[in-house]
Amino acid sequence: MRIVVIDGQGGGIGSSLVGKLKEAASPETEIIAVGTNALATSAMLKAGAMAGATGENAVVFNASRADVITGPMGILLANAMYGEITPDMAHAVSSSQALKVLVPISQCSVRVAGVVGKPMAAYVEEVAAMILDYEN
């Protein structure tokens, strides 16, 4: 299975996801870090991603090849993350046939009904558990 972790800014959410997934995923699972910037990609690689790429084309290319896409909710929204998510990135992620398991964040001006205010670490744990359950 190929899991694509997409993040921007400093890559904090993505690196947390990579770390959790790396701990428990099967050895055959590919974890690919895709950052909207080099800092985010670097953080996810340091957390244990098997490979990494940066930028719009990397998001578009890897979204089409993923079995699972994860990252902050903003990766679905054009111009999210202070403009780091381009319309083409958002389109590639939302159009991908991959399962999308996203971390809800409040900075992207979207509220999802049923989501309660939890610490970010709790959401990361929940997302990783959902992906690992899907893997099995």
- Mean pLDDT in residue range 76-80: 94
Query: How many structural domains are present in the chain?
Result: 1
Output the CA–CA distances (angstroms, integers) from residue 35 to 27, 80, 111, in the order listed.
Answer: 23, 14, 24
pLDDT of residue 110: 79
> What is the overall mean pLDDT for the chain?
93
* Angle of helix 12-24 versus helix 120-135 axis, rounded to 10: 40
* CATH number of 39's domain: 3.40.50.720
**Residues 92, 4 contacting (CB under 8 angstroms):** no
Q: Which pLDDT does position 120 carry in this prediction?
A: 87
* Residue-range definition of the domain harbouring residue 121: 2-135
pTM score of the predicted model? 0.93
Predicted confidence band of residue 116 (pLDDT cuts 50, 70, 90) = confident
